[in-house]
């Protein structure tokens, strides 16, 4: 038995539910003989991947779904051996070059170029090109992206590239100017509700209206998350009732408590306590960037409107440092300490005004 997310994933373009106008454009793209390079971007969990697979199916027919997975071995110029998992069908190949970290350039230079230089073997195929789907394109290093530039132009007869990315900020402008940009927006709350209803009908769950509204608001546009929550709730209690509590993840509860600690009291002792908690979070493999962002959003809910402006400025600063630096705990701690001093000062000033 598979998860709802996979089980009810639309496999054809006409089954897609939200962003109708986009769907009709994709249909046109899929039915024409030609296809430009695509750069598909949007927040996570809105169905970028689903759209790519559906588009491929539209273009090449059912045989795209016959996928084989194999491991490719590469050798870096320095002689290091790398392994990369590759999913491929006769017509397309799907890779995540950022899996191999800074060596993604080698993957681009070897694998994609090798593919690009060979022609489509299948004579019966309607299209003369193959498609390379690159996942997590925002994590591609600069070198790898430079490597893509000429390959994308030179071998366009044999190859189309579909980049799937969370944002276009980290994609080089020469790459962007070679692609057709396709933005996938999050579904609205009503659309999420509709989808939830549809699926619960298929699964014979009796989903109360109120609960679906709450799930839709909570998941913040992330459809995948909404479906996972629905499934979680079903496992927890069946039949569903409208006043059920939405299951939050452990780490969110944990960070919520940390945020509360920070706002409650600002003192060196408290900082020490928080530090311990942060270490714990890091030790449980929660990425430091996520910790910082979540903490910021949680703290923002708890403080005065007047203070928020100053605070977000610092949050942005520490987020930037966190990305550049290597030792995460230092920046997280500095962030908390900075907030504490600023907030304390703000509170003291507020008191003295009275």
Partner 1 sequence: MVKKSNTEAKKLNLPWIEKYRPNSIEQVSSQEEIVAVLKKALTSDNLPHMLFYGPPGTGKTSTILALAKELYGPELIKSRVLELNASDERGISVVREKIKNFAKTNVTIANKETKNSYPCPPYKIIILDEADSMTGDAQSALRRVMENYSKITRFCLICNYISRIIEPLTSRCAKFRFKPLPIDSMKGRLKFICEKENLDCRDNVIESLIKVSDGDLRKGVMFLQSASQLYKDEEIPMSAVNEISGSIPNDVVSQFLNCCLKKKFSEFKKILDKIQNEGYSGTQFLIQFQELLMENEEISSLEKSKLSIKVAQVDKSLVDGSDEYLQLMSLIAV
Q: What's the N-to-C CA distance of the chain in angstroms?
A: 64
DSSP 8-state symbol, 91? S
Q: Is 326 in the site for partner 1 (CB under 8 A)?
A: no
The Cα-based distances of 349 to 228, 307, 309, 314, 346 in angstroms read: 46, 12, 17, 19, 5
> Looking at 7-15, 147-155, 239-247, 339-347, which segment touches partner 1 (CB under 8 A)?
147-155
Q: What is the CA radius of gyration of the chain?
A: 24
Which of the residues 245 through 284 are near partner 1 (CB under 8 A)? Answer: none
Among 8, 57, 72, 146, binds partner 1 (CB under 8 A): 146
Report residue 41 as tokens. Answer: 């971007």
121 binds partner 1 (CB under 8 A): no
Among 213, 319, 328, 342, binds partner 1 (CB under 8 A): 319
Q: Which residues contact 61 (CB under 8 A, 6 or more apart)?
A: none
Strand, coil or helix: 243: coil
Distance CA 212, CA 227 (A): 10
CB of 185 to partner 1, least distance (A): 5
Residue indicated by tokens 């007869």? 157
Considering only the stretches 96-104, 149-157, 251-259, 262-270, report the one whose residues sit in contact with partner 1 under the rule CB under 8 A.
Answer: 149-157
Minimum distance, C-beta of residue 177 to partner 1, in the bound complex (Å): 4
Residue 320 touches partner 1, criterion: CB under 8 A: yes
Task: Please report whether residue 345 would count as binding partner 1 according to CB under 8 A.
Answer: no
**Helix H segments across the chain?**
4-7, 20-31, 48-60, 104-107, 113-117, 142-154, 173-176, 189-202, 209-219, 223-236, 250-264, 268-283, 288-302, 305-324, 328-353
The contact mask relative to partner 1 for 30-49 (x = CB under 8 A, - = no) is --xxx-x----xxx--x---
Angle, vertex CA 304, rays to CA 302 and CA 310, nearest 5: 105
Measured distance CA(159)–CA(311) in Å, rounded: 48
Q: Does 163 bind partner 1 (CB under 8 A)?
A: no
Q: Which stretch binds partner 1 (CB under 8 A): 25-33, 196-204, 254-262, 271-279?
A: 25-33
Looking from the CA of 13 toward its CB, the CA atoms found within 13 Å total 20
Q: Min. distance of Cβ 138 from partner 1 in angstroms?
A: 8
Q: Is 108 one of the binding residues for partner 1 (CB under 8 A)?
A: yes
Q: Applying CB under 8 A, does 190 fall inside the site for partner 1?
A: no
- Asked if 213 touches partner 1 (CB under 8 A), the answer is no
Distant-in-sequence, close-in-space partners of 83: CB < 8 Å, separation ≥ 6: 71, 72, 73, 74, 100
- Residue 186 in the binding site for partner 1 (CB under 8 A): yes
* Residue selected from 113, 214, 270, 275 as contacting partner 1 according to rule CB under 8 A: 113
Query: Scanning residues 76 to 105, which ones bind partner 1 (CB under 8 A)?
Result: 77
**Residue listed under structure tokens 């927890």:** 236
Work out how close the CB of 152 gets to partner 1 at its nearest, in angstroms, rounded to a whole number: 9
**Total site size for partner 1, rule CB under 8 A:** 65
Name which of 186 and 200 has its Cβ closer to partner 1. 186
Q: Select from 209-217, 230-238, 258-266, 315-323 the region that touches partner 1 (CB under 8 A).
A: 315-323
Tokens of 296: 């910021």
> Which stretches of the chain bind partner 1, using CB under 8 A?
25, 28-29, 32-34, 36, 41-43, 46, 77, 108-109, 113, 128-129, 142-143, 146-151, 153-154, 156-157, 167-170, 173-174, 176-181, 183-186, 220-221, 289, 292-293, 296, 300, 305, 308-310, 312-313, 315-317, 319-320, 323-324
């Amino acid at each position: 038995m598979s998860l709802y997310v996979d089980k009810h994933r639309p496999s054809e373009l006409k089954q897609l539910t939200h962003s109708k106008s986009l769907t009709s454009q994709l249909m046109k793209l899929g039915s024409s003989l030609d296809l430009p390079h695509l750069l598909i971007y949007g927040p996570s969990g809105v169905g970028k991947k689903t759209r790519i697979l559906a588009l491929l199916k539209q273009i090449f027919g059912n045989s795209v779904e016959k996928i084989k997975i194999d491991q490719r071995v590469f050798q870096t110029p320095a002689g290091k051996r790398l392994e990369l998992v590759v999913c491929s069908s006769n017509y397309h190949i799907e890779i995540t070059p950022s899996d191999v970290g800074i060596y993604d350039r080698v993957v681009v230079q070897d694998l994609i170029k090798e593919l690009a230089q060979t022609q489509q073997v299948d004579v019966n195929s309607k299209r003369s090109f193959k498609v390379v789907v690159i996942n997590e394109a925002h994590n591609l290093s600069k070198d790898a992206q430079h490597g893509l530039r000429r390959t994308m132009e030179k071998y366009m007869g044999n190859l189309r590239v579909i980049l799937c990315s969370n944002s276009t900020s980290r994609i080089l402008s020469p790459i962007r100017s070679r692609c057709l940009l396709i933005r996938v927006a999050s579904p609205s709350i009503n659309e999420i509700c509709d989808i939830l209803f549809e699926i619960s009908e298929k699964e014979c769950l009796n989903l109360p209206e109120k609960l679906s509204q709450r799930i839709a608001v909570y998941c913040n546009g992330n459809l995948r998350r909404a479906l996972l929550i629905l499934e979680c709730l079903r496992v927890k209690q069946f039949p569903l009732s409208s006043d059920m509590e939405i299951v939050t993840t452990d780490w969110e509860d944990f960070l919520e408590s940390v945020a509360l600690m920070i706002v409650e009291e600002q003192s060196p002792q408290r900082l020490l306590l928080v530090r311990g908690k942060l270490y714990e979070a890091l030790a449980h493999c929660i990425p430091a960037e996520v910790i910082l962002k979540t903490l910021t959003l949680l703290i923002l809910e708890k403080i005065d409107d007047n203070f928020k402006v100053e605070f977000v400025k610092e949050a942005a600063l520490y987020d930037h440092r966190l990305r550049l630096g290597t030792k995460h705990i230092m920046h997280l701690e500095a962030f908390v300490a900075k907030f504490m001093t600023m907030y304390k000062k703000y509170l003291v000033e507020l008191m003295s005004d009275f």
